[in-house]
Structure 1
């Protein structure tokens, strides 16, 4: 099969806006976040540069509307509702939103942020992701969080009262010295609130973090395994389907924004250090990864140009680039979409597909492939195959 025989089309479009400030830098966090008091957030300067950033990237949409938008950070809920509304207006004017666009904002529990929920809802945010992490004061303290368990509960209640009917709770497990009992208590508490979505993931020690330089006492592997197995069963019993490695949702409430990432969609990356991806469908499909000026002081400096660094994804690298995300999903991925979104003929990956299928790590049903239960459990082995 020749490259020209591949039926190509542009993938769906999302947008990500990075807000880089937090009240305090958590010891496990390796994101592009910087400590600042709420009173010192340079909101006006940020909005001005975001306007320039959106204007610079608008042409990358190539006529598509934004299907999903995610305000991440940092702590986006440190911005006022008016600022969030202005960013939404900028994006709508210069790119446009699909009629049923999913618009998510990350928020941390705490009185100041929670009081803004009603304003965010009026501005157009229709999904909240609340960074609870734990419902135990002692574990929250060990994680360096600025809220307590009561704040977390109240934030959820306030969000419901503000009109949000699509809420995610971020919850960690495998916390320092955490027992199976304590981990399940956290999960039971989260489930009792009846959120639509739970991001339930294990604490990992990342480079360039405080925990990396001074590691906390992480539970033994046997305990981590018991927590994972017991938690997955508990979530399933409560009606939460696992649709990705650490994502669980009530039926129809999967995070569409993350699904677009995992299914090789395009996305505009707006804000300090934001990453993006866009596709050009010409004679030979071009896939470009982008990233913006990283440090907030440089991003906000009106005397410096906004920089969008670009790096093309070579055709030989696209299979790994595609499957590293799509195979994280429990649902099958389409090989027709692989061809359409990467421009790589299916014939180029048939040998790899056969190898993984013969090893019992992949199931294939005509156009659809998915990891087997063993493949999902040993996902790193599956992904490593695409690097060979």
Structure 2
């Protein structure tokens, strides 16, 4: 299985130059679900029969070993175990996975280790085992506490399961996120706020609240449900944001809200254009070297991934990021942050000159899409509303 390598840049383009490499995280993808949700466009696959836990964990560790030459000596600041539904895996499997990771990389003593869990696959002993294995942050995929809406979304759990999962996360881990969606089929402002209020009653440290969108290659895209109209969507979003702000949750990214000091450190590293190794079926990675930035994609189908790892080639596609793409790739992430970015961080994280984005920054400021001073640039309310247009201003034609 040959790696498909895309060519960097065009004739004569310079490479990045890093004085110090960005912080490094590790993403682990566990691709199986009980059932594929009709709105989901993630790389997830329905589990048919018993999961190949032991085989997959060993493949993940061999995959990580394959990546080690690119990250020798660099500390790993966070781990995120996503999916799919990682909580389908036993506590023993997660313990073996994390122990194997610790044996292979320099994991910070206080590293944030997040694991996603779905309420329909939760039990007390399993959560206790995850915590004992080293998981210190849980993200629970609630989506909504409305049973009728859960059925419409194709979820396998009921609202009572979601409450119990949150309570178990609080008991065994303490630091936990609840994922919520709004602007659901038939949802009103009152129904959306009822969801938020029930979530707040569970006292999560973090909330992800985002609008349901109809993504390509999903069942909902082919057979779209009746969603609230655009004005109603705006009303719901504004009410949700106001309710969370009043409860003391700071909106630090487009759809992320946290109590003070409880931001997701792993996701912040993405948005600040840090590095991450991605292992597992379909996982993406971004790794900076002294003179280039690599993006990698693993084989997507679980069977193909396991076979590729066995042959010592888990990476299906690898490409160098051209220097001309750095402004857009950086802004695609950094402008999602409410506080924006420190201007000096652009050169630090991209290896590119700050001069390459000054014209675009000036143009965005003139349109009222960003505000900036000698140290920081951040999106305005208008910029957040038209975020795609703002990010596109940093595209370069080559």
Classify the TM-score, shorter chain: over 0.9
Q: Which residue of 2 aligns with 1:287?
A: 293
**Which residue, 319, 324, 328 being the options, matches 2:336?**
328
Structure 1 position 332, deviation (Å): 3.2
Query: Match for residue 240 of structure 1?
Result: 249
Q: CA deviation at 1:362?
A: 1.4
Which residue in 2 is equivalent to 1:357?
A: 365
- Distance, in Å, in 1 between the alignment partners of 2:182 and 2:267 is 21
Relative to the length of structure 1, the TM-score reads 0.95
Pick from 89, 93, 100 the counterpart of residue 90 of structure 1: 100
Q: Secondary structure at the match of 2:119?
A: coil
Q: How much does 1:59 deviate?
A: 2.2
**What is the CA-CA distance between 1:103 and the residue it aligns to?**
0.2
Whether contact under 8 Å (2:282, 2:300) holds in the other structure is: yes
Alpha-carbon distance, 1:326 to partner: 0.4
Which has the larger displacement, 99-108 or 377-386? 377-386
- Which position in structure 2 is the counterpart of 1:375? 383
Output aligned runs, 1:17-28, within 5 Å: 17-28=28-39
Structure 2 residue aligned with 1:64: 74
Choose the corresponding residue for 1:33, options 37, 44, 68.
44
SS at match of 1:349: helix
For residues 111 and 355 of structure 1, do their structure 2 counterparts lie closer, same or farther at Cα, with a shift above 3 Å needed?
closer
Distance 1:114 1:23 in 2: 19
**Partner of 1:306 in structure 2?**
313
Deviation larger for 5-14 or 177-186: 5-14
- Structure 1 counterpart SS, 2:216: coil
Match of 1:15 in 2: 26
Per chain length, whose mean CA-contact separation is higher, i.e. which structure has more relative contact order (CA < 8 Å, sep 6+)?
A: 2
| Structure-to-structure mapping, 1:1-388, within 5 angstroms | 8-37=19-48, 40-110=50-120, 112-162=122-172, 164-281=173-290, 285-301=291-307, 304-308=311-315, 309-388=317-396
TM-score w.r.t. length of structure 2: 0.93
More off after superposition, 6-15 vs 165-174: 6-15
Q: Counterparts of 1:4 and 1:50 in 2: how far apart (Å)?
A: 31
Is residue 16–residue 352 contact of structure 2 (8 Å, CA) maintained in 1?
A: no
Quote how far apart the aligned CAs of 1:157 are: 1.2
CA contact (8 A) 1:8 1:339 kept: no
**Stretch deviating more after TM superposition (272-281 or 54-63):** 54-63
In the aligned structure 2, how far is the partner of 1:381 from the partner of 1:305?
A: 42
In structure 2, C-alpha distance between the alignment counterparts of 1:34 and 1:338, rounded to whole Å: 37
- Segments of 5+ residues of structure 1 without an aligned counterpart are none
The Cα of 1:54 is off from its aligned counterpart by 1.0
Instruction: Determine the C-alpha separation between the residues in 2 that align with 1:135 and 1:364.
Output: 40
Q: 1:160: Cα distance to partner?
A: 2.1
Please state how far the C-alpha of 1:353 moved relative to its aligned partner.
1.1
Secondary structure, counterpart of 1:116 in structure 2: helix
**Cα deviation per residue 1:330-351 (whole Å; 9 max; x = unaligned)?**
1131221111221111112111
Write the distance in 1 (CA, Å) between the matches of 2:261 and 2:122: 31
Q: Which whole-Å deviations, capped at 9, do the CAs of 1:44-81 have from their partners, x for residues lacking one?
A: 11012112101101222231111010000000011111
Q: Does structure 2 retain, via aligned residues, the 8 Å contact 1:107–1:113? A: no
